[in-house]
Amino acid sequence: MLLSVIIPVYRTELTLQRCVESVLNQDVDDMEVILVDDGSPDNCPELCDEWAEKDNHIKVIHKTNGGLSDARNAGIDVATGDYITFVDSDDWIADHTYATLLHSMDDNDILEYPIADRLPLQNHVYHDADTYWLHSQAYLHTYAWNKLYKRSLFDDIRYPVGKVFEDVYTLPLLLRAATTIATTDKGCYHYCYNPEGISAKADGDALSMLLDAHLLSGMPIDDEYYLHLANIQSDVFEHTHTAAKLSPRRIDYRHLHGTKKIKAILLNTLGINKLCRISKFIHLFKSPSRW
């Protein structure tokens, strides 16, 4: 069972060694590590080549800069493994993670594992995408990198070039192509927050793409998911002042508590457009935090 680990590389010369070492320390001999130098202007291209000379598990692709989606796609195009996973080059993987997870991949098309200090998971198997999406609230953690995938899922699927929040566009497609999706409490992905990253510095256009990705996904929407979408819609309105794309919905707030319950009552009473205006007004007087 060959595992292809795809690592897009761009401006991460200070963290690349930690990332690559963590992957090579996985106790998985049947593994190829594909470093995709996305036209990085620092020392990353040379560091990638040095790694390839030191370890025959490593392949290097040098390409002109095309963004994260394009880099992932370049890795997918040359991957020869039965399974694919991704790592961002400023993150790292806990020891023994992949060896443990691969034992479960015979029975699953997608396997999601925990993220340190961010996403604990339980052992659960889902036989349809809709149940996984809502039960595990997968819409909150659509990340490409804390999952293993059967390579065949990518036969007709690639990440959208030119889009930000590309994971939100792509995961629903992969879920629809999958038969069995599982979560596990084994293994650990160490994510490093980047204050200069897209998520941290998203503007109105980026947030609009995020909202569109959710609304066009075709995935089911329950009350909890709708409240999440209402948060995104509020952020989009705050940046762009455009009318809401999110359709009205009456929410059963009896099972909700705290600010979620208050927001649900306001949505039922005022509607999404007026709630967006109230949210913008509140943010004029306090630091922006999702309420």
Residue 248 has pLDDT above 90, yes or no: yes
Using a cut of 0.85, tell me whether the model's pTM lies above it: yes
Residue 18 backbone dihedrals phi, psi, to 5 degrees: -60, -45
Confidence at residue 290, expressed as pLDDT on a 0 to 100 scale: 45
Map tokens 């963290």 to a residue.
15
pLDDT number for residue 286: 59
Task: Determine the Cα–Cα distance for residues 92 and 290; give it in Å rounded to an integer.
Answer: 28
Using CA atoms, how far apart are residues 242 and 184, in angstroms rounded to an integer?
A: 41
Strand partners, 214: none
Region 175-203 average pLDDT: 89
Q: What is the pLDDT of residues 86-117, one digit of tens each?
A: 999 999 999 999 999 999 998 999 999 999 99
* Residue ranges of E strands in the chain: 3-9, 31-38, 58-63, 83-86, 92-93, 110-112, 124-126, 147-150, 181-183, 189-190
Region 52-75 average pLDDT: 98
Q: Which token pair is 260?
A: 């979620």
Give 19-57 pLDDT, tens digit per residue: 999 999 999 999 999 999 999 999 999 999 999 999 999
The pLDDT assigned to 196 comes to: 64
Mention every residue, 6+ apart, whose C-beta is less than 8 A from residue 103: none
